[in-house]
A = this chain, B = another copy of it.
Amino acid sequence: KVLEEANSIAEKIAIFNQEDKNPYHQIKKKISEKNLKHIVTVARGTSDCAALYASYLFAKTLGLTTYSLPPSIITLENSHFDFSNTLVVVISQSGLSEDLVKCEQASRKMGAETLILTNNLNSPMINHANYFFNINAGKEESVAATKTFVLSLLNIVKLVAFVSNDNEILNNLPQLPEHINTELSEAWDPELIDNNISSGFIISRGLGYALSTEISLKFKELCQEQIEPFSSAEVMHGPRSLIENSFKLFTLSLNDSSGAGV
């Protein structure tokens, strides 16, 4: 089931590309008019990994600082934030998590505009939020929500490309499903990995670090292996002493300025 759903990602992206009506232009307008200056993300689990990816991209490409708000700060504490000029981005596959619904409502009361990314057209949040992005990943039944994760990233990349007028990315999106299918045919052999070792690190940096947080979750959920994500800069400050023979060490190096340091 997991593999079946993961293998359908290219097809889902093709459907997304055809049906996408997300209001990127409305958000672009607000940002260019300086009505939105700050971005706050609220999410859990896999969606929080997508939110971390978004925060690197917003910072790096748009120069907007992005704050990841632990939902408990709103649901457990009586916090009062000045959320004027702030876009609160809630990412939720189900669109139903009670604490995220509460965060969306409380954020609007504190002056925020809110954007919901969800895979569920019946989420109560899409009627209340200022903006709604349909992740459009199709029904997800396996535990590790890879389809939803990848489609969430695509929503975010497309938003950032629209706001920054990056036509190269926008023009290449139609070819993305084809690229993914090519990659699938060049999959590496999992037999290479020693099954007897169940702990380790995955080391990366920048946008790659955000991706490695989701890969770490996948190792935990699907392989019962504790592969902890670490920034290549942070790992030198102590955790390095853990690395020994019975330890897996993965690196994820992206083809950007962060990749050289990994």
Known A-B contacts A224-B241, A233-B72; the reply to A79 vs B59 at CB < 8 A is yes
| Residues 78-117 of A contacting B (Cβ, < 8 Å) | 79-82, 86, 99
Q: Are A76 and B261 in contact (CB under 8 A)?
A: yes
Bound: A231/B80 CA distance, A: 22
Choose the segment among A11-19, A40-48, A129-137, A161-169 that binds chain B (4+ C-beta atoms closer than 8 Å).
A40-48
Known A-B contacts A228-B228, A233-B71, A234-B45; the reply to A63 vs B76 at CB < 8 A is no
Cβ of A199 within 8 Å of any chain B Cβ, yes or no, is yes
Bound: A199/B224 CA distance, A: 12
Cβ of A65 within 8 Å of any chain B Cβ, yes or no, is yes
Residues of B with C-beta under 8 A to A38: 38, 65
Q: Are B237 and A45 in contact (CB under 8 A)?
A: yes
| Residues 195-240 of A contacting B (Cβ, < 8 Å) | 198-199, 205-206, 209, 217, 220-221, 224-226, 228, 231, 233-234, 237-239
Residues of A within 8 A of B (CB): 37-38, 40, 44-46, 48, 56, 59-60, 63-67, 69-73, 76-77, 79-82, 86, 99, 143-144, 198-199, 205-206, 209, 217, 220-221, 224-226, 228, 231, 233-234, 237-239, 241-242, 244, 257-258, 261
